Amino acid sequence: MEINWQPDPQVTTPLYQQISAYCRQQIQQGNWLVGEKLPAQRQLAAQFNVNRSTIVTALNDLQADGVLSSAYGDGTRVASNTWSLALDWQPYLHGQFNANLPTIQTINRLEGESYLRLSTGELAPELFPQKLVQAKLQAITPQITQMNYLEPLGALNLRQALAKRLQRWHIDVQPENILITTGSLQALDLISVALLKPGATVYTEAATYLKSLQVFQSAAATLTGIPQDDAGLCYWQIPPHSTTQQLLYTIPSFQNPTGSVMSLQRRQQLLQFAQKHQLPIIEDTAYQELWLETPPPLPLKALDRANNVLYLGTISKTLAPGLRIGWLVGPAAVIRRLSDVKMQTDYGASSLAQQLLAALLTDSAYDAYLTELRQQLRQRRDAALASLQDYLADVATWQIPRGGFYIWLKLAPTINVERLFQAALKRHILFNPGTIYGTNQALRLSFAYVAPAEFRQGIAVLAQLIKRARKD
C-alpha cells in the first residue's frame, strides 16, 4: 500500500478529516482494495506527520462508516467500498503470474527514488558510450524508410551480426538459429510458456538470479537449487531420472549473484551428463563479455555437440538495459516455436533498437568501448574491494570477482540480513539480500552502478549498522 500524501495543517479542515477523506478517495479510486491491510498506526502517524491520536480518530471515523475493519492481531483492513461506485478488483488480482517477493517489490519501488543503490544490476549512466551511440543513430537515420513490423525472428542484419560475433566464442550458427527478444528476460518467459509443461523441474545454482523472478514458478514449474564448488555447478547432484520434465538454467560465466566461473573441465563434464540424460540446458551469458583480467572459458554452447543448449544473450549489461534487446540461440525447430509464441505477445522487439544494435556490433568502435568498459569496471571493483577490506573484514568474507558486476558478501551468522536490510532503508541505502536469491547470511553488492566514493560511504554506513546490531 503506497501513501504519497500528507495533510495540510494550514487549511481549516481538521487533520483527521483530511486523512479520512484521503483514505476514502484511495479506496474509491481502486488504489486500496477490499481486504488490503493498512500500515500500523505508528507508521501512519509518521507517514502523515501527525500525532498518533489523530490517526486513531481518523480510523475510528472510517470504521464507524464500515469502510475499515479491525481485528485483534490482524490490524486494520479495507472492509468495504460499497458506498462508492468503484469496482472491487481484489478477486481479479490472483491470476496465473505470481507476485514478486515483498523485498523485490520494495527494491523495485525505491530504486527510482533518492536511495544509494549498492546492488543495482546495471551500468552507471556515466559509463554509457553517449558519443558512440549518438553517432550510430545519426548514421542509420537516412536508412530508416519505414518502421513496420519485422520478420518473426527479428531483423536479419542484426541476426547476421550476432552470428558473426558468436564465432569469436566458437559458436557456429546461422541467422535462422537466432531469435531476437525483448531482453533475455523475455527469452526465459517464452521458454517457460512454450516449452515447459506444468510440474516441470528447473534446476539452478543454489543461489541464483532466477529465484528473484517468478517466471518459471508462474508457469507451474518448480525451482530446485544445486550446490556449487570451486569449479562450478555440482551437476552430479541432479537426479538422473525423473517422471517430470527437467531443465537446467545456469550462468557459467560470472554468475549472478555469486560472480563464480565454471571451469572448462566442469563445463565439458556437465555437457556429457546432459547429453547422457537428455537434459536441456539454458545458458545465460549476460556477463560473458565483462571479464576483468582474462576471458572466461568457452561457453557451453561452443562445446555443445548434441544441441542440448539454448544460449541467451543480452545487451543490457554491456551497453544499456533500456534498449530491451536480447537474443536466444538454439535448434531451428525450437526457435520457430518460440518465435511463434513471441509473435502472439509483442510482435517483435523495437525495430529502431535492432537497427541501432546491428550498426554498433559491426563497428570496431564498439569493441574499443568494451575494452575501455572493462578497464573502468576493474578500477571500480578494486576500489570496492578496498572499501570492504577497510570496513567489513571482521564480519564478512568474499571472493575477488573475475568479471561481471557483483561481489557476493557472506556475513557472520550472528547478523540478521533482513533486519540489516530494513535498517539500511532508514538510512536511504538499498542492497539486495541473499534471501531473494535463495540463501541466507549473504548479500549481493555491485560495483558497476554507484561511484567508488559513494560505494565507500554506503559500506561505512552498513558497517555502523552491523556493529550496532551486534551490540543489540
Please give the full DSSP string across 437-457, using - where no structure is assigned: GT-SSEEEEESSSS-HHHHHH
Q: What are phi and psi of 150, to 5 degrees?
A: -95, 175
Give the separation between CA 276 and CA 205, rounded to whole angstroms.
20
Q: State residue 468's pLDDT score.
A: 87
| Integer Cα distance of 444 and 257 in angstroms | 6
Q: pTM score > 0.75 for this model?
A: yes
Dihedral class, residue 218 (left if φ above 0, else alpha if ψ from -120 to 50, else beta): alpha
Q: What is the pLDDT of residue 35?
A: 83
CATH of 128-362, one of 3.40.640.10, 1.10.3720.10, 2.30.130.10, 3.20.20.70: 3.40.640.10
Q: What is the pLDDT of residue 69?
A: 87
Looking at the domain that runs over 15-92, which CATH code has it been given? Answer: 1.10.10.10
User: What integer pLDDT is reported at residue 470 of this predicted model?
Assistant: 75
- Residue range 102-121+367-471, CATH number: 3.90.1150.10
Same fold for the pair 15-92 and 102-121+367-471 = no
pLDDT for residue 218? 86
Domain residue spans in the chain? Answer: 15-92, 102-121+367-471, 128-362
Instruction: Provide the grid cell at 213.
Output: 523472478
What's residue 219's pLDDT? 87
The cell numbers describing 66, all together, are 464500515
Mind listing the pLDDT tens digit of every residue in the chain (472 residues)?
778 889 999 989 999 999 999 998 888 777 888 888 899 898 899 889 999 999 999 999 898 888 888 887 788 998 865 555 556 666 776 777 887 888 888 898 888 888 999 999 999 999 999 999 999 999 999 988 888 889 999 999 999 999 999 999 999 999 999 999 999 999 999 999 999 999 999 999 999 998 888 889 888 899 999 999 999 999 999 998 777 899 999 999 999 999 999 999 999 999 999 999 999 999 999 999 999 999 999 999 999 999 999 999 999 999 999 999 999 999 999 999 999 999 998 998 999 999 999 999 999 999 999 999 999 999 999 999 999 999 999 999 999 999 999 999 999 988 999 999 999 999 999 999 999 999 989 999 999 999 999 999 999 999 999 988 775 6
Rounded to whole angstroms, the Cα distance separating 151 from 334 reads 16
DSSP 32-63: S-TTPBPPPHHHHHHHHTS-HHHHHHHHHHHH
The pairing of strands 281-284 and 246-250 is: parallel
